[in-house]
Amino acid sequence: MKKRCIDRLVGKYCKIVTKEPGDDRAHVIFGFVKNIDHESGLVVIESQQGVGCLNIEIIEAIKPSNKKI
């Protein structure tokens, strides 16, 4: 992903589609993008499951979404 595209999503509620190498199905995560570390290639996400990190390489799609409570 390009740096400038993903940097605009920091602090926003997003829908993130990820697919691990070797997996058959994609996973969908809804949460806030807290921080992006371009040097280590990680995106910090806060979702209902808690705070976690995702590798930028496994992200298939990311887009802002309305927060649904």
Q: pLDDT tens across 2-57, in order? A: 556 788 999 999 999 999 999 899 999 999 999 999 899 999 999 999 999 999 99
Tell me the domains of the chain and their CATH numbers.
3-64 (2.30.30.520)
User: What separation in angstroms does the CA of 15 have from each of 7, 39, 60?
Assistant: 15, 23, 11
pLDDT at 7: 86
CA 24/CA 16 separation, integer angstroms: 17
8 versus 1: the higher-pLDDT residue is: 8
Three-class secondary structure of residue 10 per DSSP: coil
pLDDT at 36: 92
